[in-house]
Structure 1
Amino acid sequence: MTDYLQRAENVLDKINQLAGISDDPTFVTRTFGTKAFLQGSRLIQTWMQEAGLQTRVDAIGNVRGRFVSPMAGAKTFVIASHMDTVVNAGKFDGPMGVIMGLDLIENLRQFGKALPFNLELIAFSDEEGVRFHTTYLGSKVVAGSFDPSLLVKKDESGTSLSEVIQAMGETTDQLPSDAIAPDDWLGYFEIHIEQGPVLYERQVPVAVVTAIAGQKRIEVTFTGMAGHAGTVPMDMRQDALCAAAEFILEVEKFGFANRHNLVSTVGKLNVINAASNVIPGDVSCSLDLRSNDPAFLEYAYRNMQKQCASLCAERSITFQWKLIQETVPVTCDTKLNEMLGQAIQASGYERIDLVSGAGHDGVPISQVSPIAMLFVRCFQGISHNPLENVELTDMAATLQVADRFLNYLIDGFCHSDDRRNLKIS
């Protein structure tokens, strides 16, 4: 009988080893293409090789390991998550899914399970988008949707994405051929911490992800008139910061009123040429809108733009509204989710269905493949923070559920009348 607690301890040991590799010695940070990133990549590839997988690092820096099926013309089922982090990160977001995927494949190999499809484990190189402010670099290459125009995008030091790829010893010409062809996909599965408090509050270790919310990220710039704080009368001011402040409160008010359909956030505020004795003339802020309902997300976008225009007109302020990033909501595959739900209940746990408000690599992958995600309870739902933590017992429960899920998938595939052309969806 499998000792899931021992397997969880082995997974946690690897998580801790990877967390010890960082761009900063005082906290966990591994951003795309850095020295720490490359060191972590080599360690993950070594673990894959030790597990007997056929390994390689592709042109965008994804670490990839294949457990090849003996069946001719076999399709590919991908287990993946990301290995990059935000600045001052926790150690579970991303790496836990990669290392658990490694454990799952090691277990299949150990028990000699007949494999009717290829399994590919992928540690995606850049999901967080910290260095170049563009998410899903790794998974977009695998999905075949990488935009070549991003190659000229520069980081804060002025180094382009193309130059970073070359510095890693890769070539940009290889990027298109690193995609898995759409006809070769069987499915995609990711294990990830919830990054929210639902499982923690309900004391349940895992949940089925039914959808990934769509996002719109906007940069709003308010332009008024800078002036002397002591000489311009209150009723003659064009204070850009006051306009921004009023807009921010409207964002919160709208989000709260529509909390069952949307979350809305202003996370950045920049007062240009700020001084205590100067009326702010130029201010910019971010706006982050997320919903799993595409129509409502578009409505929210238009509504907030309209409110911004109205309050700026009242204050004699001009504004610029710039959409800088958007993704559509993604629905996870019904059949894969049914197998995942059955695996949860067969393992003795309550099935809970959740929508992910955070973005994941499954978003670009969903364009070419059915996807499924399993959420894992984390301490108080905290993520992107050194306090991020997953209990060992919850990790053991996750491995038990994921084992069952993969076995259901393998058995269902083997019993199909037409295995080569089986479509999950």
Structure 2
Amino acid sequence: MTDYSARAARVLGHIEELAAISEDAQGVTRTFGTEAFQQGRALVESWMRAAGLETRLDAIGNVRGRLVCPDPAAKTFVIGSHIDTVVNAGKYDGPLGVLLGLDLLEQLASQPAALPFHLELIAFSDEEGVRFHTTYLGSKVVAGSFDPSLLQRPDAHGHTLAEVLTAMGGRPEELAADALPPESWLGYFEMHIEQGPVLWEQPAPVALVTAIAGQRRVELTFRGMAGHAGTVPMRMRQDALTAAAEFVLAAEQFAQQHGQNLVATVGKLYLPQSASNVIPGEVVCSLDLRSPDETQLAAAYAQLQAQAAAIGQRRQVEVSWNLIQQTAPVACDAALNAELAQAIAEAGHEVISLVSGAGHDAVPISQVAPATMLFIRCYKGISHNPLENVELPDVAAALEVAERFLTRILHQHTPGSC
């Protein structure tokens, strides 16, 4: 009988080892291209190699481990997640999915039976988008949707993506060659902590992801007139911060009034040249809109843009609105979801269906391949936070479900049928 608890404990041991590699000593920070990121990537590649996978680093810095089918023309089934983090992150967002996938492929590598298709485990290099403010760099290269113009995008220190790639051993000129052609994909499977409280409250160890919410990220700049805090009458001020504050509250109120299918977040607020005795003349803030309904997302975007303009006009503050990122809602593949639901039921768990409000590498991959996702319960739904945590029984349950799912996919194909 398979001891999933022992295997889960080994996965969690790897998580702790990887989490010890960080840009700062107080938490877990491994942003794309940094020394800590490269050290973590090397560790993950060493584990893939030890598990019996053929490994390589591709041009964008993804770690790719492969179990090869005897038929070179066979299709490829990919298991993936990311190994970069936000600043001051938790240990599990991304790496847990990679290391669960590693355990699955290690078990298959130890078996003599020939595979009916290629299996590839990918540790994507940049899903979070922290350094260059654009998400899914790693998975977009694999999906063939990477925008070459991003190579000239600078980070906060003025280093372009092309320069960072070259410094870490990447090859900007070879990015296109690292895509898996659409016709070669058999499917994609991603395991990830829920990053929400539903499974924690149930409680239930896993859930089936049916869809991923679409996103629109905006950078707004409010420009008024800086002035002395003690000499400019209140009625004559062009205060950029009060305009921004009114917009922040308007965005919150709008989302609250439009149901559970929409969320709006202002997560960044920057005041250049700020001082306690100066009326703010300029404020830059972010807006993150998400919904699984594209029609609702588009309507919210237009209405909030109009509200920002109206606030600026009323307060005599110039407002600029810059769309930074846009992704459409994604529906997971019905056929793969049916197999994953069956695996959940066979493992003895209730089949709970959830929509992901967070973005995942499955988003760009879904444009070229059937994709499905498994959510794993996490402590109080906390994520992007050092308090992020999972429990061993839930990880063991996820391993069993994932192995049952992969076994079902393998049994659907015979060598040469792909």
TM norm structure 1: 0.96
1:180 aligns with 2:165: no
Aligned to 2:202: 202
Distance 1:316 1:39 in 2: 51
Going from structure 1 to structure 2, the CA distance change for 1:156 and 1:196 (only over 3 Å counts) comes to same
1:314-393 aligned within 5 A: 314-393=314-393
1:82-101 aligned within 5 A: 82-101=82-101
Distance 2:223 2:196 in 1: 36
Larger mean Cα displacement after TM superposition, 154-163 or 188-197: 154-163
Per-residue CA deviations over 1:288-309 (Å, capped at 9, x if unaligned) read: 1001111111100000011112
How much does 1:207 deviate? 0.4
Aligned to 2:44: 44
Aligned to 1:169: 169
Per-residue CA deviations over 1:208-258 (Å, capped at 9, x if unaligned) read: 111111111111111222222222222222222111111111100011111
Going from structure 1 to structure 2, the CA distance change for 1:269 and 1:188 (only over 3 Å counts) comes to same
Aligned to 2:5: 5
How much does 1:114 deviate? 4.2
How much does 1:361 deviate? 0.6
Is contact 2:200-2:378 (8 Å) kept? yes
How much does 1:113 deviate? 4.6
Distance 1:328 1:187 in 2: 20
How much does 1:260 deviate? 1.8
Distance 2:359 2:176 in 1: 23
Amino acid at match of 2:293: D
Larger mean Cα displacement after TM superposition, 35-44 or 74-83: 35-44
Aligned to 2:222: 222
Per-residue CA deviations over 1:338-357 (Å, capped at 9, x if unaligned) read: 11111111111111111111
How much does 1:37 deviate? 1.2
Per-residue CA deviations over 1:261-300 (Å, capped at 9, x if unaligned) read: 2000111112232222222221121111001111111100
How much does 1:124 deviate? 0.5
Distance 2:220 2:131 in 1: 22
Distance 1:223 1:164 in 2: 33
1:47-62 aligned within 5 A: 47-62=47-62
Aligned to 1:419: 417
How much does 1:159 deviate? 1.5
1:212 aligns with 2:207: no
Distance 1:167 1:321 in 2: 34
Secondary structure at 2:412's aligned position in 1?
helix
Aligned to 2:129: 129
Is contact 2:53-2:109 (8 Å) kept? no
Aligned to 1:109: 109
Per-residue CA deviations over 1:5-59 (Å, capped at 9, x if unaligned) read: 0000110111111111112222211111111111111111111111111111111
Distance 1:170 1:227 in 2: 48
How much does 1:3 deviate? 0.2
Distance 1:203 1:132 in 2: 37
Distance 1:238 1:35 in 2: 44
Distance 2:280 2:135 in 1: 32
Amino acid at match of 2:108: L
Secondary structure at 2:413's aligned position in 1?
helix
Aligned to 1:256: 256
1:145 aligns with 2:111: no
Aligned to 1:245: 245
Aligned to 1:29: 29
Distance 1:405 1:62 in 2: 25
Amino acid at match of 1:335: A
Per-residue CA deviations over 1:193-219 (Å, capped at 9, x if unaligned) read: 000101001110000111111111111
Aligned to 1:284: 284
Distance 1:229 1:162 in 2: 45
Larger mean Cα displacement after TM superposition, 379-388 or 31-40: 31-40
How much does 1:165 deviate? 1.4
Secondary structure at 1:285's aligned position in 2?
strand
Distance 1:243 1:353 in 2: 40
Distance 1:398 1:141 in 2: 28
Per-residue CA deviations over 1:57-111 (Å, capped at 9, x if unaligned) read: 1111111011011235210000001011111111111111111001011122334
Secondary structure at 1:289's aligned position in 2?
strand
Distance 1:161 1:360 in 2: 21
Q: Tell me, which stretches of 5 or more residues in structure 2 are unaligned?
A: none
Amino acid at match of 1:150: L
Amino acid at match of 1:419: S
Distance 1:318 1:36 in 2: 41
1:160 aligns with 2:160: yes
Secondary structure at 1:215's aligned position in 2?
strand
Aligned to 1:307: 307
The runs of at least 4 consecutive aligned structure 1 residues that moved more than 6 Å come to: none
Amino acid at match of 2:10: N
Count of residue pairs brought into register by the alignment: 418
Distance 1:272 1:171 in 2: 36
Aligned to 1:423: none
Secondary structure at 2:85's aligned position in 1?
coil
Secondary structure at 1:413's aligned position in 2?
coil
Q: Percent identity?
A: 63
Secondary structure at 1:358's aligned position in 2?
coil
Per-residue CA deviations over 1:162-218 (Å, capped at 9, x if unaligned) read: 111111223212111111111100000000000010100111000011111111111
TM norm structure 2: 0.97
